[in-house]
A and B are shown apart, each in its own frame.
Chain A
Amino acid sequence: MFAIVVGDIKKSELVIKNLKDKNYGVTFIDINMLKNITGNCLKENRAHFAKLFIALTDDDHMNLYLCKLAKKVYNVEKTIALANYPDNIDLMKRQNIDNVICPNLFIKNSIEEIVTREEE
Chain B
Amino acid sequence: MFLLFFIESPEQGGADMYNIVIGSNSYAEMIIDLLIEKNKLVFAMDKKENLQRISQKKIVKLEVNTDNSKLVQSSLGNQQVESIYIVTDDDKLNLMLGEQLAEYDNTYVFLLDEKLTAIADGNYKIICPSLLIKEFVMREIQ
Q: Do A and B come from one complex?
A: yes
Q: Could you tell me which A residues sit within 8 Å of B by CB distance?
A: 38-39, 59-62, 64-65, 68-69, 72-73, 84-85, 87-88, 90-91, 94-95
Q: Are B100 and A91 closer than 8 Å at their CB atoms?
A: yes
Which residues of chain B from 55 to 101 have any CB-CB distance to chain A below 8 Å in the complex?
67-71, 90, 92-93, 95-97, 99-100
Q: Are A72 and B118 closer than 8 Å at their CB atoms?
A: yes
A85: chain B residues at CB < 8 Å are 67-71
B97: chain A residues at CB < 8 Å are 61
B115 at the interface (CB under 8 A from A): yes
B132: chain A residues at CB < 8 Å are none
Q: Are A91 and B67 closer than 8 Å at their CB atoms?
A: no
C-alpha spacing A65/B109, complex, angstroms? 15
Instruction: Give how many B residues have a beta carbon under 8 Å from the other chain's beta carbons.
Output: 18
A40 → B minimal CB distance (Å):
9
A72: chain B residues at CB < 8 Å are 118-119
Q: Are A61 and B70 closer than 8 Å at their CB atoms?
A: no
Taking A61-B93, A91-B70 as known contacts, 5 extra A-B pairs with beta carbons closer than 8 A to each other, sorted by chain A number, are A61-B67, A64-B99, A65-B96, A87-B71, A88-B68
